[in-house]
Amino acid sequence: MSELTVIEVKRDEFKTRTELCGRSVAAAFIGTADMLATKDLERYVRALEAEVRRLAVCEVVVDMRELYFMNSHCLKLLVSWIVRAEALAPPQRCTFLFRTHRGLPWQRRTLLALTALAESIVRVEEA
Amino acid sequence: MAEDVELLRQKAMLLVRRERELHSLRSRHDAALALLRVTQGLARERLAPGASPAAIYGRCAQALVDELNYQCVTMLERRGGRWGVAAAVGGAPDARALAGDDVARAVAARPEGVFNDGGDEGAAPLAAALGLRRFLWYTSGADGEAPMLLAAGYDAERAPFFFAFDADDLTFFKMVGQHLDAVLGNLRLVEALAAERAALLDLSRSLDRRVRERTEELTRALRALEEKDAHITSDLERAREFQRAMLAPLPPPGELRFGAVYRPASGVGGDVYDVARVRDGVHRVFLADVTGHGIQAALRTAVLKCEYDLATAAARSPEEALARLNRALVARHPDLDLLSTACCVDLEERDGGVTARVACAAHPPPLLARGAGAEEVEASGAFLGARAEIRLRATSVPLLPGDRLLIFSDGLCEVPGFELGPAARAVGAEGRALDDALAALVARAEAAGGAAGPGDDMTIIGVERGTRERPARARA
Q: Which ipTM was obtained for this model?
A: 0.74
Burial class (CB in 10 A: 0-12, 13-18, 19+), A4: middle
DSSP B123: G
Whether A80 sits inside 8 A of B383 (CB atoms) is no
- Residues with Cβ < 8 Å from B122, sequence gap 6 or more? B106, B109, B110
The confidence score (pLDDT) of residue B452 equals 55
Is it the case that residue B308 has pLDDT exceeding 90?
yes
Tell me the angle at which helices B53-68 and B167-246 cross, rounded to the nearest 10 degrees: 160
Chain A residues in contact with B458 (beta carbon < 8 A): none
The confidence score (pLDDT) of residue B209 equals 94
Length of chain A in terms of residues written: 127
Of the pLDDT bands very low, low, confident and very high (cuts 50, 70, 90), residue B448 is confident
Sheet architecture: strand order including B395-399:
B271-279, B282-290, B340-350, B353-361, B395-399
Is it the case that residue B295 has pLDDT exceeding 50?
yes
Radius of gyration over alpha carbons of chain A, in Å?
Answer: 13
Is it the case that residue B8 has pLDDT exceeding 80?
yes
CA B179 to chain centroid: 49
| Angstrom distances, CA of residue B471 to CA of B241, B352, B405, B475, B476 | 42, 5, 22, 12, 15
Quick one: closest CA in B to A115, which residue?
Answer: B382
Average pLDDT over residues B31-51: 71
The confidence score (pLDDT) of residue B330 equals 92
Whether B291 sits inside 8 A of A80 (CB atoms) is no
Burial class (CB in 10 A: 0-12, 13-18, 19+), B367: buried
Strand partners, A25: A20, A60
Relative to beta strand A24-33, strand A59-70 is: parallel
Average pLDDT over residues A2-18: 91
Rounded distance between C-alpha atoms, residue B27 and residue B20, angstroms: 10
Whether A117 sits inside 8 A of B390 (CB atoms) is yes
Average pLDDT over residues B350-368: 92
Closest approach of A2 to chain B, Cα-based (Å): 33
Question: Mean pLDDT over all residues of chain A?
Answer: 89
Task: Return the residue in B367, B383, B389, B415 with the most chain A beta carbons within 10 A, the one to mutate for interface testing.
Answer: B383
| Angstrom distances, CA of residue B108 to CA of B123, B195, B404 | 11, 33, 109
Of the pLDDT bands very low, low, confident and very high (cuts 50, 70, 90), residue B474 is very low
Q: Which of A112, A81, A119, A74 has its CA nearest to residue B381? A: A112
Whether A69 sits inside 8 A of B391 (CB atoms) is no
Q: What percentage of chain B exceeds 70 in pLDDT?
A: 93
Rounded distance between C-alpha atoms, residue B419 and residue B156, angstroms: 115
The confidence score (pLDDT) of residue B50 equals 65
Contact B87, B57 (CB under 8 A): yes
Residue ranges of E strands in B35-180: 72-79, 82-89, 112-116, 134-140, 148-154
Closest approach of B293 to chain A, Cα-based (Å): 10
The confidence score (pLDDT) of residue B473 equals 46
- Alpha-helical runs (H) found in B110-166: 124-130
Q: What is the dihedral of CA B30, B32, B36, B39, to 10 degrees?
A: 120
Contact B427, B441 (CB under 8 A): yes
Strand partners, B148: B77, B140
Sheet architecture: strand order including B367-370:
B256-263, B458-465, B404-408, B367-370, B373-376
Average pLDDT over residues B183-203: 85
Is it the case that residue B349 has pLDDT exceeding 80?
yes
Of the pLDDT bands very low, low, confident and very high (cuts 50, 70, 90), residue B145 is low
Burial class (CB in 10 A: 0-12, 13-18, 19+), A9: buried
Contact B304, B287 (CB under 8 A): no
Of the pLDDT bands very low, low, confident and very high (cuts 50, 70, 90), residue B371 is confident
Rounded distance between C-alpha atoms, residue B455 and residue B458, angstroms: 9
Is it the case that residue B66 has pLDDT exceeding 50?
yes
Rounded distance between C-alpha atoms, residue B274 and residue B246, angstroms: 8
Whether B391 sits inside 8 A of A119 (CB atoms) is yes
Is it the case that residue B148 has pLDDT exceeding 80?
yes
Question: Mean pLDDT over all residues of chain B?
Answer: 86
Reduced to 3 states, what is the DSSP secondary structure of residue A43? helix
- Interface contact B435, partner A, CB < 8 A: no
Is it the case that residue B329 has pLDDT exceeding 90?
yes
DSSP A121: T
Of the pLDDT bands very low, low, confident and very high (cuts 50, 70, 90), residue B476 is very low
Whether A113 sits inside 8 A of B341 (CB atoms) is yes
Task: Return the residue in A109, A110, A121, A122 with the most chain B beta carbons within 10 A, the one to mutate for interface testing.
Answer: A109
Count of other CB atoms within 10 angstroms of residue B31: 17
Whether B339 sits inside 8 A of A76 (CB atoms) is yes
* Residues B382-417: tens digit of each pLDDT: 889 888 888 888 999 999 999 999 999 888 877 777
Does this model's pTM top 0.80?
no
| Angstrom distances, CA of residue B221 to CA of B90, B146, B206, B207, B228 | 72, 54, 22, 20, 10
Contact B276, B305 (CB under 8 A): no
Q: Which of A78, A5, A81 has its CA nearest to residue A38? A: A78
Rounded distance between C-alpha atoms, residue B362 and residue B419, angstroms: 19
The DSSP result for B206-263, as a single string, is HHHHHHHHHHHHHHHHHHHHHHHHHHHHHHHHHHHHHHHHHSPPPPPPSSEEEEEEEE
Relative to beta strand B380-381, strand B282-290 is: unpaired
Contact B61, B89 (CB under 8 A): yes
Q: What percentage of chain B exceeds 90 in pLDDT?
A: 41
The confidence score (pLDDT) of residue B307 equals 94
